[in-house]
Structure 1
Amino acid sequence: MTTSSSTNSSYSDIEFNITVDCPISHLQGSEIFLPVVYYIIFFTGFLGNLFVISVVGGKGRRGGRLVDTFVVNLALADLIFVLTLPLWSHSASQNGKWMFGNELCKLSSYIIAVNRFSNIFFLTCMSVDRYLAVVKLMDSRYLRSSRCIRATCAAVWFFSLLLGIPSLVYRRVDESDEMPCCVEDSSSTFFLGLSLVMALLTFVFPVLIIVLCYGTIIMHLNKHCVAAANPRAAARRRHSLKMVLSIIVAFVVSWLPYNVFKVIMICSQLSHAKLNCEAVSWLTNGLQVSCCLAFLNSCVNPAIYFFLDHHFRRSAVIMYMTCAGKPKLLHSYNSSASFTNVGTSESFATSGGRSQLQMSE
């Protein structure tokens, strides 16, 4: 007997066609812990990413680093994403019942897809920027100009918005069961095949580029660290590498389980595999838990900036003192910070474009 079973507790839900008569089972307690987790991610992600945008974006062109452009765009993508979580939290509390109409189902799913793509693309760009800053420093003045960085960010947003369109088209409210649910249309073989290709092109391929960039950087540092002309600048560069690498590791750890479960589920549907009820339950529950882990990534980055990036902490302190109206403390702090940071930044001015390549490594 062939029946159709679907999990309906979170964004991860798809209509999962199976070839055995399995009862529809939900992860025990999911109607409680999923809404709680979603709201925690919403509040911490909203406040954290808003804080990052205020601190990094408020420094202006003169006081900022080129990598800060990627940081602000990454925080903006996460900020927009977390605004959709109250919808999914309410749906999860109702065991997947969707009460917000077909348009919001499509729009919120589209935002999540765009966030996933833009995150990995911005992280890839940050890795390439670190590679150029460390390995090809003197040959990358144009590629690391502020104009080129802004053009790159615009391209990332364009392709992320474009690649998210399938989620906008193939997500829908399914009312065939007892209650309406916002699910992916897995009846389309084209969409399933496209989802599989997208997982490879927008996760596996960028991760390989990131690994290649950092592998080359590590080899370069090991080779040239002894002969470094400016040990303080080299230390600052390694610090920046540690911060960016931490963000990348957090993203991969967060999204890898979700992508693995998603690929297994898509492959089983495309191959019409005969799965037993235990396998179906393992896949659907694993997809729900890994989806929560993936969403947690949107509130992790602000903590990484605060605890690992002393340049970010310094900017946060300056913003606080400015808002609190403490000019004497601000002047004293700036003086001490300027003294300790002498010789730790790399600046290059291009006479043609009048653009400054300033990276506080």
Structure 2
Amino acid sequence: MNMDVVLDGLFSQNGSYDYDDSYEYKEDIEPGASKAVLAPVLYFLELIVGLLGNGLLLAILAKKRRSWSISDTFILHLCVADILLLVTLPFWAVQAVQQYGWSFGGFLCKISGAVFNINFYCGIFLLVCISLDRHLSIFHATQLFSQKNPRLAHMSCLLVWLASLILTIPDCVFLVARKDPAQAKTVCVHSYSQSGTDWQLVSRLLHHTLGFLLPAAALIFCCSRVLLRLRRSSDGLREQRAVTFTLPLVVVFFLCWLPYNITLIVDTFRSRSKQPDQPESSLTTALAVTSALGCVHACLRPLLYFGLCRNVRKQTLAMFRHAKVESESSLWGLGVGKEALPDQNPEGEVLKQMTSTDHQVQSTQC
């Protein structure tokens, strides 16, 4: 039996229990009423917070288009990926509320399910590009992307989208809207039973290896080396500021998406040994919970920008006040595409940089 991920499974499960006749429950409340109300409320909050945050980021990017930087390119693509995920949340909310479940047809089922994975792939691949650029800049005094030649950055982002679309082909093929006898309603799930090939295993292996394990290994490698380098204080202030902003983005991404991927790996191994007549385990609910946690990441990323970068807050207040503020070249603090500084190892230069950092840190902005 295939174990499919239903994003609203946490809220749409209606269990029936047989109680003894001697037990009476005074309040006449429908069993799934509270869950049916909770689901759209949570999706609505995520939609509003996420769209407001990412919308403000897009507005800031539009105002500084004359001084466009490489960091702006990556922020733009991250915002677009988050917005695509957010606009699909109402479909899952309606599926949780409606008695008949999914009522938007097979095409929107495929698109909505595929966008969920596209958001994850784009997020982790773009973070890998940013981390590699920071690693090369700090350790090799060179950089993957250059402000003087931004074509490589644009091509990298396009390749990220292309790779994400290719990895979501199984979702576009096998996602269907079908009647679920257990829930007595139509649900949007994967259906691999129509083919003799074990496409579920192929799809999961692609996700686990190319979509998660390899990019995660690259992020851990780059971030761990950069953290060790920062402890020795052998880099300039600009590099430290860029790294201290990039690392929270990576940490929050893993906090949101790691539980889902770990649960999916466990589900992949468990589904290999599951008998055809065996009932679904609690992993279905766990996948629903952890996938919902992954969707929250689309709301948290804009909050990180506003919380960590003073210039972003300044630009936002200026827009509300209709005031003009000079756009900062290092608005986001990522440092991607900035000219790399030469590697400095002498002890005297290290002490000089450490002293300089102490005096400058009070007046620096993200």
TM-score (norm 1): 0.76
2:224 corresponds to which of 212, 215, 224: 215
Range with greater deviation from structure 2 (312-321 or 190-199): 312-321
CA contact (8 A) 1:101 1:173 kept: yes
Give the Cα separation in 2 of the matches to 1:35 and 1:164. 26
Could you tell me how far 1:51 is from its partner in structure 2? 1.1
Query: 1:41 matched to which residue of 2?
Result: 46
CA contact (8 A) 2:5 2:189 kept: no
SS in 2 for 1:137: coil
Q: Deviations for 1:264-302, whole angstroms, at most 9, x for unmatched residues?
A: 22222223369976xx44212211211111110011000
1:201 corresponds to which of 196, 205, 210: 210
Q: Deviations for 1:31-78, whole angstroms, at most 9, x for unmatched residues?
A: 23222211111111111111111113431252x442221111001110
Q: Aligned-pair RMSD on alpha carbons?
A: 3.5
Taking every aligned residue pair, what percent have the same amino acid on both sides?
27
What are the within-5 Å matches in structure 2 for residues 1-361 of structure 1?
10=8, 29-62=34-67, 64-94=68-98, 97-138=101-142, 140=144, 145-175=149-179, 177=181, 178-187=184-193, 190-197=198-205, 198-223=207-232, 225-226=233-234, 234-272=236-274, 280-321=280-321, 324=322, 326=323, 330=325, 334=326, 348=339
Q: Deviations for 1:324-351, whole angstroms, at most 9, x for unmatched residues?
A: 1x45xx4xxx59x89xxxxx999649xx
Give the Cα separation in 1 of the matches to 2:157 and 2:36. 38
Query: 1:18 matched to which residue of 2?
Result: none
Give the Cα separation in 1 of the matches to 2:339 and 2:154. 17
Give the Cα separation in 1 of the matches to 2:306 and 2:283. 36
Return closer, same or farther for 1:194/1:148 CA change in 2, 3 Å cut-off.
same
Q: Deviations for 1:230-282, whole angstroms, at most 9, x for unmatched residues?
A: xxxx33432221222111111111111111222222222223369976xx442
Range with greater deviation from structure 2 (264-273 or 133-142): 133-142
Could you tell me how far 1:141 is from its partner in structure 2? 6.3
CA contact (8 A) 1:66 1:144 kept: no
- Give ranges in structure 2 of 5+ residues lacking alignment: 18-30, 330-334, 341-364
Query: 2:356 matched to which residue of 1?
Result: none
Q: Deviations for 1:97-121, whole angstroms, at most 9, x for unmatched residues?
A: 1111111111111221211211111
Query: 2:332 matched to which residue of 1?
Result: none
Letter in 2 for 1:260: I
CA contact (8 A) 1:55 1:315 kept: yes
Give the Cα separation in 1 of the matches to 2:143 and 2:311. 26
Return closer, same or farther for 1:284/1:101 CA change in 2, 3 Å cut-off.
same
CA contact (8 A) 1:170 1:184 kept: yes
Give the Cα separation in 1 of the matches to 2:16 and 2:257. 26
Give the Cα separation in 2 of the matches to 1:291 and 1:96. 22
Return closer, same or farther for 1:27/1:219 CA change in 2, 3 Å cut-off.
farther
Return closer, same or farther for 1:348/1:291 CA change in 2, 3 Å cut-off.
closer
Return closer, same or farther for 1:276/1:218 CA change in 2, 3 Å cut-off.
same
Letter in 1 for 2:38: F
CA contact (8 A) 1:306 1:313 kept: yes
CA contact (8 A) 2:128 2:215 kept: yes
Could you tell me how far 1:95 is from its partner in structure 2? 6.7
Letter in 2 for 1:269: S
Letter in 1 for 2:204: L
SS in 1 for 2:282: helix
Could you tell me how far 1:136 is from its partner in structure 2? 2.7
Letter in 2 for 1:239: R
CA contact (8 A) 1:10 1:96 kept: no
CA contact (8 A) 2:102 2:188 kept: yes
CA contact (8 A) 2:260 2:294 kept: yes
SS in 1 for 2:198: helix
Return closer, same or farther for 1:6/1:248 CA change in 2, 3 Å cut-off.
closer
Give the Cα separation in 1 of the matches to 2:74 and 2:5. 36
The higher relative CO (CA closer than 8 Å, separation ≥ 6) is in 2
Return closer, same or farther for 1:24/1:7 CA change in 2, 3 Å cut-off.
farther
Give the Cα separation in 2 of the matches to 1:96 and 1:184. 18
CA contact (8 A) 1:105 1:173 kept: yes
Could you tell me how far 1:176 is from its partner in structure 2? 5.2
Query: 2:27 matched to which residue of 1?
Result: none
SS in 1 for 2:189: strand
CA contact (8 A) 2:70 2:336 kept: no
Return closer, same or farther for 1:11/1:153 CA change in 2, 3 Å cut-off.
farther
